[in-house]
Amino acid sequence: MIRFSKPVGKHGQSQSSAPPCFGYGLLLTVMGFWLLGLSGCSKQKDETVRADAAPAQPLSVKTVLVEERPVARYVEVVGSLKADQEVVVSSEVKGIIEELPVDLGSVVRRGQLLARLAQREAQLRIDQAQAALDQARARVGMRSGNSSLEAEQNSEVRQAKAALDEVRLRYERAKTLIKNGDISQERFDEAEIQHRGAEARYQAAQDSFHNQTALVDQRAAELQLARKQLQDTIIVAPIDGAVSERHVTRGEYIRSEAKIVTLVRSNPLRLQAVVPEVAVASVRLNQTVTLSVDAYPGKTFSGVISRISPALDEKARTLTLEATVPNAGGELKPGLFASVRLLVAKESPALMVPSSSLLAFAGLTKVFVVEGNHAVERVVKTGLREGGYVEILEGAKAGERVAVENLGKLSNGVPVKGKES
């Protein structure tokens, strides 16, 4: 059973004439369920509300002109600062460190004392080597202070030479007598054998002399080595620089080749950077570069390209270069990361806008161009950044005006009232 209910008036009478919508409702009874059908009034009410709402007020924004400016073209690369020289000073001998007058940050000059090892053992080695040298010289017959000696001055060689001369004389006499038949063959053979023996003894005396003189040279070298080891107990700075690390402490026993300190020379510094393949043609020796580091925001430093790699990295397609950066004040430190600019071209035209006109969101960079009384959203491609201005490569044209304030309130099509600045 379906029943239709009619609107009832104030005095209980039904109203046949409906307002702009079809009554207030429709009451249905279907299989024992009561359903209320809403009328079509809400749509008409919404339209009435929108019709009655006041129009949106234009948003007041400051605008600037997209203009063409002459700018210098740079290639921006990254690099790192390295010490001009870095030396790990080690000990050539073992021993106990008796003196260590430097520490982290100490500024040293070339030849300045860095460490001194105990010298007692080294001095004993010198005394031992000197005694062995004196003994070897005495065997040869060298007097103190003589550094050389001829074989004929050796006593053993002289004795062997005298014996040889005597036997040779008898042998020559025997050769004459055997020809005349004045002596027997047996006596001649005996004289010949004695002569050969004397020659052999003379040769042996000479060989012994040479062996002994070689031993003298060996002992002299051992003495020089012992003296060098004494000198090596005094460790001095090989370069001008500063101590970046101290590896040992006073009183410590070290072995040979043990690290003592690490020295760095930080004036000038070496800037090492890599340049992409597209900018290789712009790189040349003695070219000026500018760099900045995070340690000194807003401050720039300069350097000169001093070394260029002869070949590119085949995998990265980059060219390595080094620039010399003056650092007399010591502000820059080895190891700092640097942003580097290389001048490519001078005074080439570019479309520039203030950086305040850019809005970055979700990986895109946008500007709002004011066209008439509305804001138009444009996605742009940016390039060079210079002095608070950004180059626009794509997305805007010269002569257009872009908003520089209230960017967070703007969207595509929003009514605006532009104010020129």
Mean pLDDT calculated for residue range 315-338 = 92
Same-domain pairing of 67 and 80 = no
Domain count, the chain: 4
Q: Put residue 194 in one of left, alpha, beta given phi > 0 → left and psi -120 to 50 → alpha.
A: alpha
User: Does the residue 105 lie in any domain?
Assistant: no
Asked if the model's pLDDT at residue 384 lies above 60, the reply is yes
**Local confidence band at 144 (pLDDT 50, 70, 90 cut-offs):** low
Residue 99 inside a domain? The answer is no
5 falls in which pLDDT band (50, 70, 90)? Answer: very low
Q: Residues 370, 398: one domain?
A: yes
Span 75-97, pLDDT tens digits: 888 999 999 999 999 999 999 99
Instruction: With respect to residue 102, please indicate whether it lies within any of the assigned structural domains.
Output: no
Backbone angles phi, psi at 82, to 5 degrees: -130, 155
Are 317 and 390 in a shared domain? no
**Residue 171 confidence (pLDDT):** 85
The residue from 215, 232, 249 where one domain ends is 232
97, 117 contact by CB (below 8 A): yes
205 and 168 inside one domain: yes
Percent of the chain with pLDDT strictly greater than 70: 84
The CATH number given to whatever domain includes residue 322 is 2.40.30.170
- Does one domain contain both 130 and 225? yes
Tell me the average pLDDT across 391-402: 90
- The predicted structure's pLDDT at residue 42: 44
**Does the pLDDT value for residue 331 go beyond 70?**
yes
Q: Domain holding 395: CATH number?
A: 2.40.420.20
One domain, residues 364 and 412: yes
CA nearest neighbour of 89 among 233, 250, 260: 260
pLDDT for position 151: 65
Same domain, 139 and 224: yes
> Stretch 38-59: mean pLDDT, rounded?
51
Residue 156 lies in a domain: yes
Min mean pLDDT across 41-55, 171-185, 194-208 is at 41-55
Domain boundary among 345, 375, 397: 345
The verdict on 371 and 408 lying in the same domain is: yes
Tokens of 170: 């008898």
Q: Are residues 152 and 215 in the same domain?
A: yes
So what's the pLDDT on residue 216?
86
- pLDDT for the residue 145: 53
In this prediction the pTM is 0.58
Domain end position, chosen among 293, 315, 345: 345
The pLDDT value given to residue 273: 93
Q: In angstroms, rounded to a whole number, what is the distance separating the alpha carbons of residues 62 and 354?
A: 12
Bridge partner residues of 242 (DSSP): 107, 264
Residues 131 and 188 in one domain: yes
Residue type, position 238, single letter: P
* Sign of the C-alpha dihedral computed for residues 315, 317, 323 and 325 taken in this order: negative
Range of the domain at 390: 60-72+349-420
245 located within any domain: no
76 phi/psi in degrees, rounded to 5:
-100, 125
Residue 315 clears pLDDT 80, i.e. is over it: yes
Q: Is residue 238 part of a domain?
A: no
Predicted pLDDT at 146: 53
Q: What are phi and psi of 63, to 5 degrees?
A: -125, 155
Q: Is residue 228 part of a domain?
A: yes
Q: What percent of the chain has pLDDT over 90?
A: 41
Between 392 and 182, whose confidence is greater?
392
| Whether pLDDT at 28 is above 50 | no
258 inside domain: no
Output phi, psi for 129, to 5 deg. -70, -35
Domain identity same for 184 and 196:
yes
What per-residue confidence (pLDDT) applies to 7?
Answer: 43
Residue 12 has pLDDT above 70, yes or no: no
- pLDDT tens digits for 240-297? 999 999 999 999 999 999 999 999 999 999 999 999 888 888 888 999 899 999 999 9
- 146-173 pLDDT, tens per residue? 556 666 667 777 788 888 888 888 888 8
Residues 143 and 169 in one domain: yes
